[in-house]
Chains A and B, each alone.
Chain A
Amino acid sequence: MEGAIFMQAVRENLRFRRVIPWLFLGGVVVLGFAMNWETFQPGADKESQYAAVSSIFVFHILALISAILTSTILNQEVENKTIVYLLTRPVPRWKLLFFRYLACSLVVAALASINAVFASAGVYHGLSGNSFLIKDIAALTVGAFAYGAFFMLIGLLFNRAMIVCLLFAFGWETAVPNMPGQMSYLSINTYLQAIAQHPSTGSNKGLAALSAALGENSISTSTGYITMIVFIVVLVVFGAGWFTHFEFLPREDAE
């Protein structure tokens, strides 16, 4: 039963029409910029170039993929009214939510990692020589689960979750890591950057701002992992409890 929920969610998220925009984004935008990044940051070494492309594009695309795909966990079912078929099956609600979340987060992680590979291939003109790629894939996987958990909860709590998620992904997650003092600790991206441990973007404040590297970030990799794991567990448990306890009925209005 759990396998069926998981596999159905994976298949749903890996539908050609769903995946192709992200692959296009990776194959054209990320790869294109990665191959030519030296033009925009003259004199930067390969590591800095990769770090810039990864922080600016790959990590922001991760948030975007997550915001869009996470809505398939629940909101899409509620909107399409197909939630009825799921809620009247002999499956505990928490399992339904958890395995769909698991599947969705893995797909998000895979798509984001493909973008990272494109970035690496663009900068290094091949797949070898990038010592940051593995760390980045780890950070992106943790990020997929963290964003997924947060957006899933937003989806459980709000009707128009997509706008809230997008504002969080591109407003909060861009601005807060660059804030002075300890405000940056309130952003998921701060911890992901701590896991990835990208090198500095140098004196370029514009790029540093985009890379979410202006604020104070003295967090170690292990702290980044621990904080994110606690964050994910708390949010998933809370979300599962909420979903089990409250009613989720199809919306009758057509927006």
Chain B
Amino acid sequence: MITATNVSRWYGQVIGVNDINCEIGPGITALLGMNGAGKTTLIRLITGQLRPTTGDLRVFGLEPFANPDVYRRMGYCPEIDNFYEHYTGRDFVRYLARLDGMSASVGNARTDEVIDMVGMSERANRKIAGYSKGMRQRIKLAQAMLHNPDLILLDEPLNGLDPVGRREFMDLLGGLADQGKAILVSSHILFEVEQMTRSLLLLHRGRLLATGDLGVIRSLIDTHPHQIRIETDEPRRAAALLAELPNIVSMKFDRSGDAVQLEVREPAAFYDALAAAVLEKGLTIRGFSSPDNNLESVFKYLVEA
């Protein structure tokens, strides 16, 4: 749905994004990066608010800048917290429904529908000026989903939502992704992004550091062996058995004495060997986890590199 080829965007002498190459298809994709990494610039390029300085960006095979054909199939929830404050939430969404080309009656019905989807039915007739941050966020989400778009771009959509709202919102996005829609979510909240998707696009200082599945990316980070923590009643025996494996880099015992922490290369091969050790050597394991096989660690390793 989105194809970027050598896309760069300069603001005078400052570079916003630098030589971005990527493809984004159906499903949820997380756009990650620190402040100033170029996330918003990339979203503005995709939503056709900006033109690339160099390179080629296509959305549904079309140039997005000021292109109504693209906007017909795209929904955008911006990061900004600005509205027509004197409007009610319902009027705001209804107005945008009309701009989406819906007739008054269809617009009204669809407005009610999306307002209900974001859980704002009870409060939609109040003026936006009196809305809390979370309510504003919900109204922004509602307007992004109005015209049932194939592609939805969400810039920091979880900001201001309470935990229940976040959960509901993530479920909603999951449902939309299951319908085959492409959803690009920019966020700083790695833990929650991780619950939404394993597919990511990582920007750093305007450059695309990584793109693809989190697990695949993690396995490719050789400079940081995977950390695995095995909880067992006989940690020293476990260590002796596992030390024979060629892909163990280091091991240490927990202070509590009931776990061993390993640094491992080729984790898939290690897990096979671990299974064999459990079955053949009678090793008892109460549990194991991989503390750095998560988005935060991947993010940290890539950015630090």
Contact = CB atoms under 8 A, between A and B. Distances in A.
Contacts of A248: 49
Main secondary structure of the interface of B (DSSP, over half): loop
B101 interface: yes
B99 A89 contact: yes
A80 B101 CA distance: 24
A251 to B, nearest CB: 12
A249 B84 CA distance: 17
Interface residues of B, number: 27
Interface string B92-114: 00011011110000000000000
A174 to B, nearest CB: 35
B99 A86 contact: yes
Interface string A87-102: 1111111000000000
A93 B66 contact: yes
Contacts of A86: 99
B123 to A, nearest CB: 20
Contacts of B72: 90
Contact of A247 (B49, B96, B147): B49
Contact of B100 (A81, A90, A92): A90
B95 A4 contact: yes
Contacts of A89: 68, 71, 96, 99-100
Interface residues on A, range: 20 to 34
B84 A82 contact: yes
Given A15-B86, A81-B82, A82-B83, A88 B100 contact: no
A166 interface: no
A5 interface: yes
B48 interface: yes
Contact of A80 (B48, B50, B82): B82
B68 A92 contact: yes
B78 interface: yes
B65 to A, nearest CB: 8
A8 B95 contact: yes
Nearest to A94: B66
Contacts of B47: 88
Contacts of A84: 49, 76, 78, 80
Interface centre among B47, B69, B72, B82 (most CB of A within 10 A): B82
Interface in B44-90: 44, 47-51, 66, 68-69, 71-72, 74, 76, 78, 80, 82-84, 86
Contacts of B86: 15
B68 A91 contact: yes
Contacts of A245: 66
B143 interface: yes
21 contacts: A1-B99, A4-B98, A4-B99, A5-B99, A15-B86, A81-B82, A82-B84, A87-B49, A87-B66, A88-B49, A89-B68, A90-B68, A90-B69, A90-B72, A90-B101, A92-B66, A92-B68, A245-B66, A247-B49, A249-B44, A249-B50
Interface of A: 1, 3-5, 8, 15, 80-82, 84-93, 244-245, 247-250
Given A82-B84, A88-B49, A90-B100, 20 more contacts: A1-B99, A5-B99, A82-B82, A84-B49, A84-B76, A84-B78, A84-B80, A85-B96, A85-B143, A86-B99, A88-B76, A89-B71, A90-B68, A90-B99, A90-B147, A92-B66, A244-B66, A249-B49, A249-B50, A250-B82
